[in-house]
Structure 1
Amino acid sequence: MSTAACESKITFIDGNKGILRYRGYNIADLVNSGKSFIEIVYLLFYGIFPDVHDLQNFMLQISQEYMPPKIVSDVIKSFPQNSHPMAILIACFSVLASYYHDQKYDENELRHTRLAISQIAGIVAMIYRHITNQDFIQADTELSYSENFIHMMFDISSYKFTKVVSKALDIIFILHADHEQNASTATVRLTGSAGANLFACLASGTATLWGPAHGGANEAVINMLMEIEKPSNVKQFVQKVKDRNKGIRLMGFGHRVYKNYDPRAKIMCKVCKEVLDDLKLSDPLLEIALELENIALQDSYFIERNLYPNVDFYSGIVLKAVGIPIKMFTTLFALARTSGWSAQWY
């Protein structure tokens, strides 16, 4: 039995059947429809899809706010370059909570939620540039949301940019946009219930997401795959996992909610193969992951315990292939989940 503080109209999950829906739409249908992350954000906020005019207006408003106030960039620069990106992100949200504290807004326009979606793209990119000792890059408002994020991270002029990569990021953002009343979402709602402004709530949610039991799973999967080293070692590793005395966990398998295959994992596996093929990369981690999935799904030990791959099992391989450093993984999770947090807060 589980409990929740509310019944959400935003996201529906049937863990036994492996179903995830945003505002009534099946997650696989949303991805296969080709809709952008920004269209999904609009759906989460308003409960409907935008028409052409509304989408253009929504995207225009978002693109005009990519760059956060100067005080935010100053705070980022004040951190040592070896700081953890999530610590910097929490500080940035705290600064925005102060910066926008006294501003009023029309609730029908959801101004603050749009600001959050706009500025976190710039903030995460700036954090990456800072910890890698590179200058910040100005936003390009002619690009899509994901394309601009890649541009602000890596500079499109020097990065091997492809439509497949930008679409893959869009899908990762969509798959992580919202979920059940997990620790970070519950934290955002609880903080908001006390009357705190959105950015203060996002700071608290980000702090919760930073916890390794919540937002660090895809990083843990990459570390596990690197530890296995090669596909031929998978069977031996699986035996260690099954030996309780070893204390070794199979990362990226199982989910507190899903007692079936996480619907997001199937999508992520397909995206992973497409990205590696597009970039002409042969990542041994994917070979290890596929072998691990194949063995685990045929083993009664994992079948009886309803342990199936979850969304984190393949997402880390995609992010690594795109060029995202492992310690930045959770900031991209926060970027995507800011849409769901903001919708829940409102």
Structure 2
Amino acid sequence: MSSEEDDLAAAWGAALEEEETAGAAAPTVAPDAARVLNQAEIDSLLGFENEADGAGGAQSGIERMIRSGLVSYERLPMLEIIFDRLVRILSTSLRNFTSDNVEVSIDSIASQRFGDYLNSVPLPAMLAVFKVEEWDNYGLIVVDSAMIYSVVDVLLGGRRGTAAMRVEGRPYTTIERTLVERLIGVVLKDLGEAFAPLTQVDFRFERLEVNPRFAAISRLSNACVLTRLRVDMEDRGGSLQLLLPYATLEPVRELLLQQFMGEKFGRDSIWETHLAEQLRHTEITLDVVLDQQVLPLSTILSLRPGDCITLSAQPSQPVRLQCGGVALFQGEFGRRETRPAVRISNVLRAPESVL
């Protein structure tokens, strides 16, 4: 009986050793390793959850990785003030232009590559190319289809309360192009007035295109400032898109970086006044030049203490007063009591105004 119990114990021991060996060789599998993500987790990873909620919260996941590749351009605070001024001026001008109640508002001001914008222009539309004379560069105004038909309907006496009729799939007529050109002229004139407090500039209409490829005013990779304007005329309206390349704005870049109109970067009127007052009390040395001679270098090197240099100046000949090599005055040399003196008779340099 004892031998059978020993055999049974040996068999149990061998079985336990085989289970421990198999468990050690098998890889450890986490319980969540094979779990499949649900749709909510996928949306959260891709960053779609915030868009669906409309909360505009923090971006996450792949969306942040994608947007990190987008370029970030320099912010121009004064340009936003100019566009706000443009909205106020344009609202009044369009009321007079259409004899209707017009409200203009800014939808967005953003930076974008020029090539990306051309690929996203909603067609059909009219693209007006204008030139900035003082900056020697170009800009673009895009009038969408809704705005075109609204302007035509208003200017040609369309009835209020009815939406403008759109006929898609045909080229714009000469009447429509002419009316849109008049609208562009009003916008460009008001844009010049909006820039007037900052700098004097004229925007001149160049041509009107319907194909974005023919409105290439800059390289496709260049950065641009895109401003979307919304125009509401009671039950009608549309949008205007103003595109200004950064290369066009470069001549006035320093002015556009200001936080408010007339800001002086790096200047302080108090310190300027203090500096001007201190400069007036600064002591300088005036040299009286009696005569100038050209001598060989050997003669100069051979001079010794006690040698005399004969001056060719006459007693009545005028002398020159200078400071640091800059001639300032011309005068007459003489004596006052027991001291030599110079009487100033002429000013050689006009005095410059102190800042």
TM-score with structure 2 length normalisation?
Answer: 0.22
Larger Cα-atom Rg: 2
**Greater share of residues in strand:** 2
**Greater share of residues in helix:** 1
